[in-house]
Amino acid sequence: MQKYFLLLSMLCFSWLSLSGCDDAKKYHTLPPIDGGDDADVNSDADIVSDIIIPPDDLDASADGPEITITAPTEGETLYGDNFLIKASVVPVADPIDYASVTAYIDGTAYSMTVDTNTPNGFKITADISSLVEGTHTVRVTATDVSGRLNYADIHFNYDRGPTISIYSPLADGRYHGGVNLSIKVSDNDGVQASSVLAVLANRDITLTQSDVSSDLANGSPVWIEFTGSVVFDDAMFDPPLTGTQRLTVSAENAVGNDAQKSVDFTVDNNGPTIDVLSHEEGQIIGSITYISAEITDPAGVLASSVYAIIGNNDVEFVIPLTEDPGTNIYEGSFDTTVLPDTFIWPALQVFATDLLGNESSVAFQLALDNQPPVLSLDPPQNMRLAKKNADRLLECSRVFDPVGWNSANDGDLVAQVFWLRARVEDRGNTAAGAAWSPLALVNQTSVEIFVLNDARLPLVVDMSGDGICNNINPNLIPTITISGDPRETLKLNMVPLEPGGTADYRMDMVTPVFPPPCQAWGVATDPPDPLCPVVENDLEVLIWYTYDKTEPSIYGLPPFNAASALYCTGIQFDARANNIAEGWACIAVKATDNVGNTSVSAPLRVCIDYNPYDGSTPTDCQNLLNRPDCTGTWDPGTSTVLTTPCTPQVFSANEVRREE
């Protein structure tokens, strides 16, 4: 027996690269018995069959080639996926037909080639990975050049070794922090418990037997269950585990044949990927802002963990984001008006956690404009423009009315046809140290003028309860045709008047002291040309409110054409043509900026006398100091407007706007 093992060891050394054996201990000449199923390592079943293919009725010739199968040997136990079949084929009567030399395993044919290292030798590497466990037949056939055929058979035992089932970690599973191991090793020839080894990242993992079969084979249990645990940042792993890892489990059965099973899994230390779809860095928000983000994670996203935060630790608002069913999109909304008006660059943060507990977030600053536009039909008439002169002093113009000297003022007695223009400017949030404030800008298509004929009713109201007028009375009926219902309010669109013209930079002989920040008076000798030749002493300049001087501040009734001598500042309003009766009327402008902040102007109260020169003045207009209030307060409980006045927002007086 010792000589046999010595010879076998030499054969393994010669065929190491092809035969699949590592050393002589893996070849055994035991009778061809069941060696334990490993055909499906994910199955606990151990169904085997001993297969022997009897010789066919071949027309073998005694003068045919003499065939000796040298590998495998009779009764040898094989394992693995490939095996090198070797044979000696010696001519007897005539030379060998080399192309005819063929090996068969259970009827599957393999054409053999000449083994140049062995006299009369032939070889072929056969795939044995699909063989079931048990006894199999190798047959080698050959013919000589005259067609004489001969064959030889040997039988071998195929043993895959133990069946290894890895229940945890799962193949392609994702784990965070650590993982518990659950393994079962089974073999009908018995399992050598001491041979079971688990390796992860080149480190041996300690396994503990959790259950053992009471059935024995060759003195060993036919199955054993093992458990263990791995902590991914354990000191044994340097650096800590992350990304794709492979756990390899190996084991031997009681007759010495082994097997191994590997499972790849992912150490997931990363939270979900968050892509904010609704906003980008520096984007201006205001009013109600809608937040949406696409959030994905291979391990799955914990939907209840997704939320956004706007603000800081002192003033912080949490916005739950809910999943749009069937998508990876999470959405929510937020009312920015609750943020202080001193916030300019608040951060938006979006958080999400995956099903493993990994959290991630993205954060960037947004621009906040939660202040509505400021509007006025009768802004202060003491505005100035300023520019640097040759001495680098700030040179100021004379005062002017931004909407024109001819535009109706609050409390005026007006004729049937009169001028209505509005100053409408967006404003931003302010804070100490801010170089500039982001502006959403006025939505130029949103500017509308409302004329209420029944001045007893409030036209502008406080809808938010802060005392500030911020909307048109919702109980009124906006219309373009007045038919007699006192709630009807004429609504017309206004259009922006393109900035142009120039201020009057002649010396101000009326003001003895420079108003701040003025440092010098203008030195022009002539007044500027009027914007519209047919309307004198009205408008000489149409102002702007942005740094680049392109965003218009003044709105009028269309049409507007800067190149036209007639329509260069819009057109007048005709009260009689629009069925607005004589007497007091309340007029206001409403506008919204590009992020949804809405506001209204103070009501302009004018008393209409179709013909002030006919000697007959309407009763209401005989005392212009008895003006209607035209404001109120919305009561959400009763959906009515109370007569409690509200305070409109207005422009500052004595404003100096720099041209450069």
d(CA 611, CA 125): 116
pLDDT score, position 208: 96
CATH number for the domain harbouring residue 346: 2.60.40.10
**Residues 328 and 449 placed together within one structural domain of the fold:** no
> What contacts 170, CB < 8 A, 6 or more positions away?
263, 265
Q: For residue 329, what are its two tokens? A: 């999109």
Q: Is residue 293 part of a domain?
A: yes
**Residues 440 and 484 placed together within one structural domain of the fold:** yes
Characterize 28-56 residue by residue with b for buried, 16 or more Cβ atoms within 10 angstroms of its Cβ, and e for exposed.
Answer: beeebbbbbbbbebeeeebebeebebeee
> What contacts 638, CB < 8 A, 6 or more positions away?
none
pLDDT digits (tens, 9 = 90+) for 374-400: 999 999 999 999 999 999 999 999 999
**Residues 132 and 214 placed together within one structural domain of the fold:** no
d(CA 224, CA 246): 22
User: Considering 244, 267, 290, which residue would you say is the last residue of a domain?
Assistant: 267
Q: Is residue 462 part of a domain?
A: no
pTM to 2 decimal places: 0.71
Q: Is residue 465 part of a domain?
A: no
**Residues 142 and 185 placed together within one structural domain of the fold:** no
* Type of residue at 179: V
**Residues 23 and 142 placed together within one structural domain of the fold:** yes
Q: How many domains does the chain have?
A: 4
Q: Is residue 629 part of a domain?
A: no
pLDDT digits (tens, 9 = 90+) for 127-155: 998 898 889 999 999 999 999 999 999 99
User: Considering 336, 368, 400, which residue would you say is the last residue of a domain?
Assistant: 368
Q: Is residue 635 part of a domain?
A: no
**Residues 61 and 198 placed together within one structural domain of the fold:** no
Q: Is residue 48 part of a domain?
A: yes
Q: Which of 628, 578, 579, 577 is nearest to 607 (CA)?
A: 628
Q: Is residue 615 part of a domain?
A: no
**Residues 176 and 53 placed together within one structural domain of the fold:** no
Print the domain residue range for 239. 163-267
**Residues 6 and 102 placed together within one structural domain of the fold:** yes
d(CA 493, CA 446): 8
Low-confidence ranges of the chain (pLDDT < 70): 1-57, 313
User: Considering 267, 301, 329, which residue would you say is the last residue of a domain?
Assistant: 267
**Residues 257 and 176 placed together within one structural domain of the fold:** yes
Q: Is residue 353 part of a domain?
A: yes
**Residues 421 and 533 placed together within one structural domain of the fold:** yes
What DSSP assignment string belongs to 19-72? Answer: H---SGGG---S-S------S-TT-----------PPP---B-TTS-EEEEEES
